[in-house]
C-alpha cells in the first residue's frame, strides 16, 4: 500500500482472528489500540483510531483503519515507511506496513521531459498555450478581435467606453476619471500645506465669478496693502466702536468736564483747609478716649473662648443643670447625682413593704418599679442591696 505524503483520508484493511486458535475470524470487535511509527520513529499510540468493521455477514473479520495521523514525510525524503500495530483483547495482533511517498506531479496529464530536462507545457489551467503566450517576452497581438489591441508603431489606439466601471460620456467627449491617488499619495491622507501648491498655483482667474461670496461678502472684501489689516477711523469692524471725548470720560467714570476741570474742582475744595491744625491735642485726646474704650472691651473679651464655633456652643441653664445631674461619679463611683436622688427619694418618700421579713422593698415615688431590694436580718440590718436607679 502506498499513500501520498500528507493525505489523511486513506484506509488500510486487516483481518481479525481469534487470539487463541489464530484462525477463527472475530466479528463485532470494538475498542482497538493502534500504535504507529514513521521512518523508524518512536512507537506512538493513535489518539483516536478510526476502525470500522466492513460486514460481519459478507466479510467476517475484515476491518478498515483510517491512516490520518503523522502522514507527512520529512522535507528531505521522497518516501518513508509507515508501520501500524493493531491490538484488541479478543484478537491476535496485526502489523501492517505502508509507504508514504512524495508525488512528483499531479494527476490528470502526462508530463513530457526532453533529454535536456526541459518540460513541454501545452496548457495552463486547461487553456492551450503557445510559446508566444508563455515566452520570456510576451508580445501583444495587434488586431480588433477578442483580447487584441489595435497597435501602430508600439502605440495603442483605444476607444474607451468605460473608466472605473462607469460609461464614458461620448456625447460630450468627456472622460469621467475616478482619481484615488496624486503623485502616488492617496487623497485625504494628510493635511494641505504651503508646499502642496506650486508658486502661483492659485490665482484669481482660477475661481469662478462670485465663488467666494458665501464666506466673504463682495461689498467688504478689500484689504489695504501691507502686512497688517488697516481700518480707517469711522469704518471699523462690526462690534468695535470709535470713542469720542465724552465717550472716553463716560467709560472711566468722569463727569462731563474734562480732567483738568475735575482736578481744579478738587483743588478748590482743599485750599480752605488749614495748612497746619491749630491744636493737635484735640486729635490726640480723641484717640486716647478710643483707646480707653477699646481696652475696657478687651478686658471683657479676653475670657471668651479663643474661637467659639457658634453662639449655640454657650450652654443654657438647663444644659448646665443636666450636666451636673448626669456627671459621671457625681455621688460615688458608678452613681450620678440624678441616680442618687432617685434612690434617696425611694428610701425616704416611696412605698415600702416587707420590712418585717427577710426582704425589704422600697418603691419609686411614682410606684412603677422597685428602686431598692434589700435582704435584711431579724434586726433590720441590711445584708445585701440591689439598686435600680434607672
Per-residue pLDDT reduced to its tens digit, 374-384: 998 888 888 89
Cell of 332: 460615688
User: In the structure, what pLDDT confidence band is assigned to residue 261 with cuts at 50, 70 and 90?
Assistant: confident
pLDDT at 211: 72
- In angstroms, how far is the first alpha carbon of the chain from the final one? 107
Region 135-158 average pLDDT: 75
Average pLDDT of the segment spanning 191-218: 71
Q: Using CA atoms, how far apart are residues 122 and 130, in angstroms rounded to an integer? A: 7
Buried b (16+ CB within 10 A) or exposed e, 291-318: eeeeeeeeeeeeeeeeeeeeeeeeeeee
- Give the mean pLDDT of 87-102: 97
Q: Mean pLDDT score of the chain, rounded to an integer?
A: 80
Better-predicted residue by pLDDT, 94 or 293? 94
Beta-carbon contacts of 18 under 8 Å, excluding residues fewer than 6 positions away, are 24, 25, 26, 90, 91, 92
d(Cα 60, Cα 26) in Å, to the nearest integer?
A: 7
Per-residue pLDDT averaged across 250-258, rounded? Answer: 69
- Is the pLDDT assigned to residue 359 strictly greater than 70? yes
Topology at the third CATH level for domain 2-101: Immunoglobulin-like (2.60.40)
Of 67-71, 143-147, 346-350, the poorest mean pLDDT is in 143-147
Residue 243 has pLDDT above 80, yes or no: no
- pTM, rounded to two decimals: 0.33
Instruction: For residue 230, name the pLDDT band (cuts at 50, 70, 90).
Output: low
Give the pLDDT confidence score for residue 72 in this predicted structure. 96
Whether 25 contacts 93, CB under 8 Å = no
Q: Provide mean pLDDT across the span 346-367.
A: 90
Share above pLDDT 90 across residues of the chain, in percent, rounded to a whole number: 35
According to the model, what pLDDT value does residue 39 have?
97
Domain ranges of the chain: 2-101, 327-387
Contact 150, 143 (CB under 8 A): yes
- Assigned C-alpha cell, 339: 441616680
Of 110, 80, 73, 109, the closest CA to residue 97 belongs to 80
The DSSP output letter for 50 is -
pLDDT value of position 153: 78
SS3 category, 66? strand
pLDDT of res. 314:
74
pLDDT exceeds cutoff 90 at 192 = no
* 14 phi-psi bin (left φ>0, alpha ψ -120 to 50, beta other): beta
> What share of the chain has pLDDT > 70, as a percent?
71
Cell reading at 230:
488697516
Amino acid at each position: 500500500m502506498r499513500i501520498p505524503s500528507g493525505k489523511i483520508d486513506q484506509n488500510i484493511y486487516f483481518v481479525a482472528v481469534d487470539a487463541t486458535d489464530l484462525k477463527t475470524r472475530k466479528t463485532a470487535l470494538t475498542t482497538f489500540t493502534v500504535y504507529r511509527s514513521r521512518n523508524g520513529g518512536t512507537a506512538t499510540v493513535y489518539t483516536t483510531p478510526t476502525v470500522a468493521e466492513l460486514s460481519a455477514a459478507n466479510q467476517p473479520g475484515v476491518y478498515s483503519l483510517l491512516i490520518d495521523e503523522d502522514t507527512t514525510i520529512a522535507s528531505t525524503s521522497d518516501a518513508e515507511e509507515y508501520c501500524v500495530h493493531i491490538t484488541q483483547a479478543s484478537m491476535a495482533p496485526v502489523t501492517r506496513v505502508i509507504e508514504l511517498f512524495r508525488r512528483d506531479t499531479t494527476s490528470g496529464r502526462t508530463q513530457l521531459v526532453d533529454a535536456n530536462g526541459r518540460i513541454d507545457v501545452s496548457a495552463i489551467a486547461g487553456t492551450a498555450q503557445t510559446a508566444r503566450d508563455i515566452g520570456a517576452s510576451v508580445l501583444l497581438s495587434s488586431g480588433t478581435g477578442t483580447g487584441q489591441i489595435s497597435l501602430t508603431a508600439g502605440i495603442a489606439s483605444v476607444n474607451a467606453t468605460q473608466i472605473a466601471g462607469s460609461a464614458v460620456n461620448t456625447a460630450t467627449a468627456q472622460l469621467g476619471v475616478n482619481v484615488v491617488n496624486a503623485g502616488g499619495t492617496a487623497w485625504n491622507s494628510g493635511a494641505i500645506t504651503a508646499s502642496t501648491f506650486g508658486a502661483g498655483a492659485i490665482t484669481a482667474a482660477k475661481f469662478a465669478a462670485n465663488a467666494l461670496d458665501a464666506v466673504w461678502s463682495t461689498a467688504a472684501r478689500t484689504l489695504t496693502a501691507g502686512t497688517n489689516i488697516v481700518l480707517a477711523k469711522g469704518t471699523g469692524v462690526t462690534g468695535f466702536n470709535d470713542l469720542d471725548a465724552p465717550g472716553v470720560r463716560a467709560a472711566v467714570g468722569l463727569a462731563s468736564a474734562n480732567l483738568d476741570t475735575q482736578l481744579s474742582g478738587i483743588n478748590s475744595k482743599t485750599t480752605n483747609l488749614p495748612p497746619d491744625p491749630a491744636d493737635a491735642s484735640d486729635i490726640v485726646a480723641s484717640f486716647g478716649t478710643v483707646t480707653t474704650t477699646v481696652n475696657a472691651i478687651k478686658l471683657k473679651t479676653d475670657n471668651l473662648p479663643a474661637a467659639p464655633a457658634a453662639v449655640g456652643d454657650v450652654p443654657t441653664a438647663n444644659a448646665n443643670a443636666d450636666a451636673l445631674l448626669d456627671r459621671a461619679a457625681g455621688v460615688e463611683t458608678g452613681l450620678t447625682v440624678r441616680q442618687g436622688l432617685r434612690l434617696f427619694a425611694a428610701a425616704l418618700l416611696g412605698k415600702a413593704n416587707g420590712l418585717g421579713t427577710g426582704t425589704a422593698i422600697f418603691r419609686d415615688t411614682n410606684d412603677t418599679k422597685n428602686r431598692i431590694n434589700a435582704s435584711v436580718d431579724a434586726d433590720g440590718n441590711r445584708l445585701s442591696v440591689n439598686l435600680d436607679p434607672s
